[in-house]
């Protein structure tokens, strides 16, 4: 019963009317040829793949799962064919380095494609984004020789990539890793250790798998400063970029049995003196890997958005068809025994909450992706530096807030269907299970909140926040003459002031008690997320109202009016939660730390 349709109209409106993407790309020489027509053609073609190839094998992939046998992993039926189509269409190298066969497209476009993939089939999407992240890391940090040997096949989708960080005893605290790298006489390294929770660590989709592995040399400094990054292929590759036919002592020990994303192989990987090659400088591996991590964390927020949108589509269709009870003001469908449940205010509350958060979450993800593109492509040093500052601030919020709202949206959509949402037929119980992981992997949301409050706010003395606030102020100033928008401007201004006040409170409290950072961190992240969603809605509303006045841009007036009314709902019903978050931050650490360990 689940049927996904790519939200092309919403995406195109955000691209062209809200963010003027083609103008942003035109200002950067490396993306100047990415026109509005090309943008539309790319995302429309991606929509065909998601609707025609990925969505049809989503539920069957969940039911079948991955199969493990003596170190080999078989993906669900239909995955291999879909991956071959994905590779043949050039999608594996969409954002890749043009010098090695990539297409050099901006992250903004691939972000929207990732959202579609996650919405249609989250398990399948994971195989593709790991390769994208791995190739990005290699393109930015590997030697020219390694790039020439590995990138072309990875961009072609013939080989795929992973990242191997976590170990049985070391999750977030990567300074504790035990995987060792011993120098060999030929300049390579022998990698030995065990990594767990490795997405796409083993599968049957590509002929080779290229692992990016964090490890330490025997004499490396203690802690995170001693970590290096290595490229370790499953099958050895010659200097000519061809497979030698020799295995590389890389073996999958088992796969995890999970709550969701069952079509994605989550592997225990064993490296036994496997040949590896240094990527970047010794003892700088964690910094190099974070090139990939920022993009992967953006992807997790996109997973939340995508599954929320997929769930909304099912719930909205159901609410217009399912009849139960009568509308409060009297029968609407008088020729039927009852009215469609969409007449009931609580059903509308749930649907509008999902819709408002999906649109804002997609816009925030696009805004963050634009900063990544600016940091990568813009010719002006100052613009690149500002974008890098915004990325540092935005990514932990986008990852955590979009995945929290995404999971919440999947649960709300399930609730709209009642008992039908709890059974497998409609697909929503799978979406709930699949969405849950996005709050956990690539750095659990609590860690994202701590990173935001601690490293990005307290440690910078609030300087990164000022960069964001200046962006908000600049946009608000641009709308100063727009009388129709002033109510929304006032709402954003109030929320922004609350965020600034909470930041001042946090900085002051943390100076006296370091526990205040962790105590405030999650509420602070949510407050910043809510403020950013409000900022996104102001931009959407400004574009919607302008489009309604023009009446000549191809957008249906009813569609635009729907955007405006959804934005009004966000401001009236969701934004007031900011006051409770401020109160939570102001409560401080004392109520959290008062109980002794024994009292838990």
- DSSP run (H or E) holding 266: strand 266-279
What is the Cα–Cα distance from 333 to 338, expressed in whole angstroms?
7
Closest CA to 365 of 547, 47, 118: 118
Domain final residue pick, 236, 257, 282: 282
Cβ pair 291, 299 in contact under 8 A? no
Cβ pair 438, 394 in contact under 8 A? no
Model pLDDT, residue 1: 58
- Residue 282: CB atoms within 10 A of its CB come to 16
Same domain, 179 and 106: no
The number of CA neighbours under 13 Å toward the Cβ of 592 is 14
Q: Which two tokens mark 198?
A: 């490795």
Q: Is 362 helix (H, G, I), strand (E, B) or coil?
A: helix
What is the Cα–Cα distance from 432 to 349, expressed in whole angstroms?
19
User: Is 377 a member of any domain?
Assistant: no
Same domain, 130 and 171: no
Cβ pair 59, 430 in contact under 8 A? yes
Q: Which two tokens mark 234?
A: 């499953």
Q: Which two tokens mark 580?
A: 């409770």
Q: Which two tokens mark 596?
A: 């002794």
Q: Which two tokens mark 529?
A: 């997320």
What is the Cα–Cα distance from 170 to 38, expressed in whole angstroms?
44
User: Is 411 a member of any domain?
Assistant: no
Cβ pair 241, 153 in contact under 8 A? yes
Same domain, 584 and 553: yes
Write out residues in the chain with pLDDT < 70, as ranges.
1-2
What is the Cα–Cα distance from 378 to 597, expressed in whole angstroms?
51
- Which DSSP category does 15 fall into? I
Domain final residue pick, 282, 298, 325: 282
Same domain, 497 and 530: yes
User: Is 246 a member of any domain?
Assistant: yes
Number of structural domains (the chain) is 3
- Which DSSP category does 280 fall into? S
Q: Is 521 helix (H, G, I), strand (E, B) or coil?
A: helix
Same domain, 13 and 132: yes
Model pLDDT, residue 107: 97
Tell me whether residue 29 is exposed, middle or buried, using C-beta atoms within 10 angstroms of its C-beta: 0 to 12, 13 to 18, 19 or more.
exposed
Rounded to 5 degrees, what are φ and ψ at 201? Answer: -65, -30
User: Is 364 a member of any domain?
Assistant: no
- DSSP run (H or E) holding 247: strand 243-247
Domain final residue pick, 250, 267, 282: 282
What is the Cα–Cα distance from 542 to 220, expressed in whole angstroms?
54
What is the Cα–Cα distance from 163 to 152, expressed in whole angstroms?
18
Closest CA to 530 of 591, 585, 461, 590: 585
The pLDDT tens digits of the residues spanning 139-191 come to 999 999 999 999 999 999 999 999 999 999 887 777 789 999 999 999 999 99
Which residues, other chains included, contact 216 with Cβ-Cβ below 8 Å and sequence gap of 6+?
177, 178, 179, 180, 181, 226, 227, 228
What is the chain's percent helix, strand, coil content, to nearest 5? 65, 10, 25
Same domain, 221 and 261: yes
Same domain, 136 and 201: no
Residues noted as catalytic: 442
- From residue 270, alpha-carbon distances to 174, 213, 255, 273, 577 in Å are 17, 11, 12, 10, 47
User: Is 57 a member of any domain?
Assistant: yes
Same domain, 215 and 262: yes
- DSSP run (H or E) holding 233: strand 228-233
User: Is 37 a member of any domain?
Assistant: yes
Pairing of strands 159-164, 208-215: parallel
User: Is 542 a member of any domain?
Assistant: yes
What is the Cα–Cα distance from 316 to 254, expressed in whole angstroms?
40
What is the Cα–Cα distance from 236 to 242, expressed in whole angstroms?
9
What is the Cα–Cα distance from 373 to 384, expressed in whole angstroms?
9
With the CA atoms of 92, 6, 119 and 532 taken in that order, what torsion angle do they form, in degrees rounded to the nearest 10?
100
Q: Is 60 helix (H, G, I), strand (E, B) or coil?
A: helix
- Which DSSP category does 437 fall into? G
What is the Cα–Cα distance from 80 to 86, expressed in whole angstroms?
10
Same domain, 122 and 206: no
The pLDDT tens digits of the residues spanning 385-436 come to 999 999 999 999 999 999 999 999 999 999 999 999 999 999 999 999 999 9
Same domain, 109 and 214: no
Give the structural domain span for 48.
8-141
- Give pTM, 2 decimals: 0.97
Which residues, other chains included, contact 465 with Cβ-Cβ below 8 Å and sequence gap of 6+?
393, 457, 499, 500, 503
Nearest 5°: CA angle at 11, between 6 and 13?
135
> What is the residue whose two structure tokens read 């929503």?
428
Closest CA to 61 of 80, 86, 88: 80
What is the Cα–Cα distance from 8 to 120, expressed in whole angstroms?
14
**CATH code, 55:** 1.10.540.10
Q: Is 229 helix (H, G, I), strand (E, B) or coil?
A: strand
Same domain, 481 and 574: yes
Same domain, 118 and 183: no
Angle between helices 345-377 and 107-141 (to 10 degrees): 40
**CATH code, 244:** 2.40.110.20
User: Is 17 a member of any domain?
Assistant: yes
């Amino acid at each position: 019963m689940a049927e996904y349709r790519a939200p092309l109209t919403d995406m195109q409106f955000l691209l062209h009317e809200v963010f003027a993407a083609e103008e942003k790309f035109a200002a950067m020489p490396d993306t100047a040829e990415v026109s509005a027509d090309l943008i539309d053609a790319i995302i429309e073609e991606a929509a065909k793949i998601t609707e025609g190839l990925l969505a049809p094998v989503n539920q069957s992939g969940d039911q079948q799962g991955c199969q493990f046998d003596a170190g080999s992993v078989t993906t669900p039926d239909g995955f291999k064919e879909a991956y071959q189509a994905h590779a043949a269409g050039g999608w594996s190298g969409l954002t890749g380095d043009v010098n090695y066969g990539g297409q050099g497209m901006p992250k903004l476009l691939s972000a929207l494609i990732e959202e579609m993939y996650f919405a249609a089939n989250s398990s399948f999407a994971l195989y593709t984004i790991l390769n994208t992240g791995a190739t990005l890391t290699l393109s930015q940090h590997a030697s020219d020789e390694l790039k020439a040997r590995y990138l072309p096949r990875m961009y072609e989708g013939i080989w795929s990539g992973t990242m191997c960080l976590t170990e049985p005893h070391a999750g977030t605290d990567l300074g504790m890793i035990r995987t060792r790298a011993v120098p060999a006489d030929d300049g390579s390294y022998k990698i030995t250790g065990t990594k767990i929770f490795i997405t796409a660590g083993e599968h049957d989709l590509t002929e080779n798998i290229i692992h990016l592995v964090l490890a330490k040399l025997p004499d490396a400094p203690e802690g995170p400063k001693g970590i290096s990054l290595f490229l370790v292929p499953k099958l050895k590759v010659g200097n000519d970029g061809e497979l030698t036919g020799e295995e590389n002592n890389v073996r999958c020990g088992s796969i995890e049995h999970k709550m969701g994303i069952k079509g994605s192989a989550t592997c225990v990987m064993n490296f036994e003196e496997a040949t590896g090659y240094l990527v970047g400088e010794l003892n700088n591996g964690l910094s190099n890997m974070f090139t990939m991590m920022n993009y992967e964390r953006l992807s997790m927020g996109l997973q939340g958005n995508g599954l929320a949108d997929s769930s909304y589509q099912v719930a909205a269709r159901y609410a217009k068809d399912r009849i139960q009870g009568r509308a409060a003001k009297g029968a609407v469908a008088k020729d039927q025994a009852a009215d469609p449940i969409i007449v009931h205010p609580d059903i509308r509350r749930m649907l509008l909450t999902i819709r408002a958060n999906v649109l804002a979450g997609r816009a925030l993800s696009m805004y963050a992706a634009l900063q990544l593109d600016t940091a990568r492509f813009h010719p002006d040093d100052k613009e690149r530096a500002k974008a890098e500052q915004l990325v540092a601030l935005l990514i932990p919020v986008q990852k955590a807030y979009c995945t929290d709202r995404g999971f919440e949206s999947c649960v709300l959509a399930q609730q709209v269907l009642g008992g039908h949402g709890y059974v497998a037929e409609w697909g929503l119980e799978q979406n709930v299970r699949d969405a849950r992981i996005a709050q956990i992997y690539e750095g659990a949301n609590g860690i994202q909140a701590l990173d935001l409050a601690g490293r990005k706010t307290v440690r910078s003395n609030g300087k990164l926040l000022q960069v964001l606030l200046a962006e908000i102020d600049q946009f608000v100033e641009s709308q100063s003459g727009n009388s129709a928008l002033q109510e929304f401007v006032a709402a954003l201004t109030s929320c922004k002031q609350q965020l600034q006040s909470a930041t001042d409170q946090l900085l002051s409290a943390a100076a006296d008690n370091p526990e205040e950072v962790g105590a405030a961190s999650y509420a602070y992240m949510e407050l910043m997320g809510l403020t950013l969603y409000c900022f996104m809605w102001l931009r959407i509303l400004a574009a919607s109202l302008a489009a309604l006045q023009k009446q000549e841009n191809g957008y249906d007036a009813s569609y635009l009016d729907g955007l405006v009314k959804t934005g009004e709902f966000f401001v009236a019903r969701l934004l007031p939660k900011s006051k409770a978050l401020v109160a939570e931050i102001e409560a401080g650490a004392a109520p959290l730390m008062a109980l002794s360990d024994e009292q838990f």
